[in-house]
Chains A and B, each alone.
Chain A
Amino acid sequence: MKSKVWLGLLSLALIIALPFGTDLILGRSWVRLLDFALLYAMLALGLNIVVGYAGLLDLGYVAFYAVGAYLYAMLASPHLGMHWPLWALLPMGALVAASFGALLGAPTLGLRGDYLAIVTMGFGEIIRIFLRNLNVTNGPAGIDLIDPIQIGGFSFGANHSLLGWDLPGIYSYYFLFIILTALIILISHRLSDSRIGRAWSAIREDEIAAKSSGLNTRHLKLMAFAMGAAFGGVSGVLFAGFQGFISPESFTMGESIMILCMVVLGGMGHISGVIMGAILLAILPEAFRPLSQFQQATFGHVWLDPANLRMLMFAIALIVVMIIRPEGLWPSPVHRRELHANDSEAGSSQKAAL
């Protein structure tokens, strides 16, 4: 028991020290990247509830991120002349996104697998098209001069100093994001162990069996959509405050796909795996940036365009990881067992004829 306490304290110290160390060794852009990685971790955890827990394939998840972000941007910027505080907007973002989640969920409850995927994708696109065309969202030009996040008198956007160490905004945001990520992890964890969580896995494994054993699959599915969307809304609120400017081009279909990749690559349904997937995929494209210098150093000449090569490496990494570890990099032990128990009957399902 004692060693566990020590381990906890040690990781806490590591988490607190991380941005300082990163700044010292790699520079501030990596601290900013850490902030984004945390935002993605929250998004991935939200999508994990829908895809990982309840087994509903959602390709339009970024819509909820957008809802949260636009809510904050409209109510805390000169755009409409309103400057609401975070403590009001954060729960509101979660709530509004959750109602959008339920709104999407309601008509699609009867759909399965890939049909659901395409409908959610369509929903994501519809939201983006509206954001791009409405006046209240300022169309494609987006909303600028968004208030930095503020709690009490403490502005996260400003520079602070602590014990002689200069603390720019990206540090303050890091600690705020860490706290909220921890909160989301806690909720996810409690959910997966609760009755609801077990009911979700029942639906995921066999919906018909779940239904016939008396579970209200409608309510449960709606709840999964709403919970997942709420987390997306929260990260959206944080993103808008952090970035200070948002426009529809931040909420594309590609972003939804990337978040899905994080969940699956990390290990669906497993909190630690999903977080790892999010951090890895957020960091990888940046980690491949030095490729041009590497080429220069090795061959004395840049042979292949570094920008294309960077994304090519990223893509190859996706493929290779999936082939080596199809369950994800860090799957949950329980989930793993379920998957392998399924092996014998995999593929024996009936399929639509050609």
Chain B
Amino acid sequence: MPRLLTPIVLSLITIGLVSCGKSTEPSSASPGTLTVLIGASNPMTGPQAHLGKDNENGTRMAIEDANAQGLTIGGQKVKFELVSEDDSADPKTGTIVAQKFADQKVSGVIGHLNSGTTIPASRIYSEAGIPQISPSATNPKYTHQGFKTAFRVIPNDTQQGGELGRYVASKIGAKTVAVMDDSTQYGQGLANQFEEAAKAAGVTVLTHEHTDDKATDFQAILTNIKAKKPDIIFYGGMDAQSGPMMKQIRSLGIQAKFLTGDGGCSTEFLTLAGAAGEGAYCSLPGMPIEKMPKGEDFKKRFNAKYGEIQDYSPYCYDAVMVMIDAMKRADSTVPSKYLPELAKSNYDGVTAHISFDENGDLKGGVITVYKLLSGKWVPQDTLGGKP
């Protein structure tokens, strides 16, 4: 019988822990104040944890800003509260987190970071009627499943890759390009769209190579590319790879220019690539943050609070603000009431002017190309966006 003891004790501990968590309801709301829960789900462990934390910071700052305004919605003072969960970038955990948000009756969700977690979770939010705005999932499928609750505040891969493909031909004047990606939904999706658009614009695609989102050694592929002598190398993937890659490109003596998407358009790229990064191009959705009316202020306050912006925190900030703006217009924090208003959004964010098309995609999303000049990303051109 004592053999059975350990399992029983363990189960009891588990149940104890769980119910202890369950009983901690959102508190500290003074009487008469309505507490509105906003869920945020990002990978906080694993290789993308740094981006997950950045997203959480952006979301948290927006919620604090909104609370500082002392909003009254539906005749009641409102206090927003962030519920942040770790989905480990794992699709299965993503659905459990989504179900948890549905149980907690959150009024809206900002997330998830990856397309792989965003898509399966969106089905649960749709069933529960909870509006979801992804700040960073770029897989076109996400908003094309027929769910009314799915939105994003970032252009999808088709939009971004297409613009960049044309840009390489028209502005950079490249005749030949070598394409690389990290074999993820995001990286490969972007690279494929880029390749298609570049070909259509008359650029010769010499090769399309694939690496891994966990790789650090790209020299085999780069050596191959070196032999083909492209004018420019395009990489679809994240900064954690493109930074070291940039170094290896230069140390192999490759002279080609370098262009990458939003995943590499970060401060992290600057530090990782070091001096080798000079002259690299990258693109970010939206207007240059300095050019947006509220952008400069956002950047200053974010830096003071959390340090450098990694990547998507401004989009998280916008996502929260768009959601709250819809609540204000609907004069309700009830999802079914403010969802129609959210679809009709027309809001000036820190990254772009935000309105959604019938699928929930960002309408007329613009993309800004930056160039790394003396250690800083300097805005070059703003592409796309038919008003």
Are A and B close enough to touch in the complex, i.e. CB under 8 Å? yes
A contact residues vs B (CB 8 Å cutoff) = 25-33, 36, 132-133, 139-142, 144-145, 168, 170, 243-247, 249-250, 276, 280, 283-290, 293-294, 297, 305-308, 310-311, 321, 324-325, 329-330
A247 with B185: CB separation less than 8 A: yes
Looking across the interface, which residue of chain B has its beta carbon closest to that of A129? Answer: B183
Q: B92, A141: Cβ atoms under 8 Å?
A: no
A331 vs B249: C-alpha distance in the bound complex, in angstroms? 55
**Please, which residues of chain B bring their CB within 8 A of the CB of A26?**
18-19, 22
Does A297 lie within 8 Å of B24, measured CB to CB? yes
A50 to B320, CA, bound (A): 49
Other A-B pairs beyond A133-B183, A286-B96, 12, CB < 8 Å: A26-B18, A28-B99, A28-B103, A36-B96, A140-B184, A140-B189, A142-B116, A144-B141, A245-B91, A247-B91, A249-B90, A249-B116
Counting CB contacts under 8 A, is B100 at the interface?
yes
| CB neighbors of A among B7-24 (8 A) | 7, 10-11, 14, 17-22, 24
Q: Give CA–CA (A233, B210) in the complex, Å.
A: 29
Known: A28-B102, A243-B92, A329-B10. A308 touches B19 (CB 8 A): no
12 A/B residue pairs, CB under 8 Å, sorted by A: A132-B183, A133-B210, A141-B115, A243-B95, A244-B123, A245-B91, A245-B120, A249-B90, A276-B7, A290-B18, A290-B22, A330-B7
In the complex, how many angstroms separate the beta carbon of A32 from the nearest chain B beta carbon?
A: 5
Interchain CA distance A250-B94 in the complex, whole Å: 11
Beta-carbon contact of B116 and A33 below 8 Å: no
Cβ-defined contact, B103 with A27, below 8 A: yes
Q: How far is the CA of A287 from the CA of B187 in the complex (A)?
A: 34
The answer to whether A140 touches B183, judged by C-beta atoms less than 8 angstroms apart, is yes
Alpha-carbon distance A25/B6, docked complex (angstroms) = 24
Query: If A33-B96, A36-B92, A133-B210 touch, does A324 touch B141 (CB 8 Å cutoff)?
Result: no
B100 lies within 8 A of A329 (CB) = no
Once the chains bind, are A310 and B21 in contact (CB under 8 Å)?
A: no
Contact of B86 among A33, A168, A245, A307 (CB under 8 A): A307
Question: How does the 8 Å CB contact mask read for B57-94 relative to A, with 1 for contact and 0 for none?
Answer: 00000000000000000000000000001100111110
Give me the interface of B with A, judged by CB distance under 8 Å. Answer: 3-4, 6-7, 10-11, 14, 17-22, 24, 44-45, 49, 85-86, 89-93, 95-97, 99-100, 102-104, 115-116, 119-120, 123, 127, 139, 141, 145, 183-185, 187-189, 210
B21 touches A289 (CB 8 A): yes
CA distance A329 to B11 in the complex (A): 12
CA distance A288 to B7 in the complex (A): 17
- Residues from chain A with a CB closer than 8 A to the CB of B188 are 139-141
Whole-angstrom distance between the Cβ of B140 and the nearest chain A Cβ: 9
**Cα distance A36–B94 in the bound complex, in angstroms:** 12
Task: Determine the chain A residues whose CB is within 8 A of the CB of B141 once the complex forms.
Answer: 141, 144
Contacts of A307 in B (CB 8 A): 44-45, 49, 86
Partner of A294, one of B20, B92, B120: B20
Across the interface, which residues of A come within 8 angstroms of B21, CB to CB?
289-290, 293-294
For B14, the chain A residues whose CB sits under 8 A away are: 280, 283-284, 287
CA–CA, A142 and B185, complex, Å: 8
Contact of A288 with B24 at beta-carbon distance under 8 Å, contacts A244-B123, A247-B185 already known: no
Chain B residues positioned under 8 Å from A289 (CB to CB): 21, 85
A92 to B21, CA, bound (A): 42
When chains A and B are docked, how far (Å) is the Cα of A145 from the Cα of B97? 20
**Which interface residue of A132, A144, A306, A310 has the most chain B CB atoms within 10 A?**
A144
Tell me the complex Cα distance, A38–B283, Å. 44
B208 nearest CB across to chain A (Å): 12
B4 cross-chain contacts in A, Cβ below 8 A: 330
Q: Say whether, besides A243-B95, A290-B18, A305 and B44 are in contact (CB < 8 Å).
A: yes
Chain B residues closer than 8 Å to A305, beta-carbon distance: 44
Distance in Å: Cβ of A65 to nearest Cβ of chain B? 11
Q: Smallest CB–CB gap between B209 and chain A, Å?
A: 12
**Which residues of chain B come closer than 8 Å to A141, judged between CB atoms?**
115, 139, 141, 185, 188-189
A32-B96, A142-B185, A284-B14 are known contacts. Are A245 and B44 too (CB-CB below 8 A)?
Answer: no
CA A289 – CA B18 in complex, angstroms?
8
Contacts of B116 in A (CB 8 A): 142, 247, 249-250
- Asked, given contacts A145-B145, A250-B90, A308-B44, whether A329 binds B7 with beta carbons under 8 Å apart, the answer is yes
Q: Roughly how many angstroms separate A311 CA and B43 CA in the complex, as a whole number?
A: 12
Please measure, in the bound complex, the distance between the C-alpha atom of A144 and the C-alpha atom of B150, giving whole angstroms: 15
From residue A139, how far is it (CB to closest CB) to chain B in Å? 6
Q: How far is the CA of A236 from the CA of B187 in the complex (A)?
A: 26
B381 → chain A closest CB, angstroms: 29
Which chain A residues lie closer than 8 Å to B183 at the CB level? 132-133, 139-140
The listed residue (A243, A293, A311) touching B45 by CB distance below 8 A is A311
Whole-angstrom CA separation of A32 from B97 in the bound complex: 10
A330 to B22, CA, bound (A): 29
